[in-house]
Amino acid sequence: MLIQVKGIKPAKMRVDNIRFEMMRELEKQGKETEREFEKTVESWKGDKPKFESLTNLTGSDAELLTGPTGNKKALDKFKWLDEGTGIRWAVMSKDWQSKTRRRFVGSGSGRGRVVIMGRRAMQKRHIAPRPGIEAREWTPTIQARRKPKFISAMLAATRRGAERLYG
């Protein structure tokens, strides 16, 4: 009696299914993060930034970078509010109320107006610079809020891709 032994070969693993699901999820998470940032400038008048995301998937690293884009004035306004400033070269009306507040992701109606703006205009009138703008800290606030959702979504994407590993 002749016994013949043949090896059993598994189907070819399709690792790109995992990469596909992860890239799709990275793009989805980017859009959700952009919407969070859009809330911070929602009621702004004049120049305001738009937000865009860049995604990267290399090896075991999945990266999502979301930030403001637009003209210099829009980017400066966002940076001054997000990070704060040491001094302010502007005088606001007595009824001034900011549209935004620290660590709150949103933008309200606000009140008041700019009376004098710019270093030259204030120096010409011998007005000292005002205390700086309080940092709103939107970027770290949104990062902290989105991180658990991001991790959960990326794990789910990996699972979805793994389920299709041999399919």
Rounded CA-CA distance 102/82 in Å is: 9
Q: What does the domain layout of the chain look like in residue ranges?
A: 16-48+69-163
How high is the mean pLDDT of the chain? 92
pLDDT at res. 76: 96
Give 98's pLDDT tier (boundaries 50, 70, 90). very high
As beta bridge partners, residue 65 has 54
Say whether pLDDT at 167 is over 70.
no
Q: For 10-40, how does the pLDDT look when each residue is reduced to its tens digit (9 = 90+)?
A: 677 777 888 999 999 999 999 999 999 999 9
Say whether pLDDT at 88 is over 70.
yes
Q: For 117-140, how does the pLDDT look when each residue is reduced to its tens digit (9 = 90+)?
A: 999 999 999 999 999 999 999 999
Rounded CA-CA distance 147/79 in Å is: 22
The single-letter code of the amino acid at 134 is E
Say whether pLDDT at 4 is over 90.
no
Rounded CA-CA distance 145/61 in Å is: 21
pLDDT at res. 129: 93
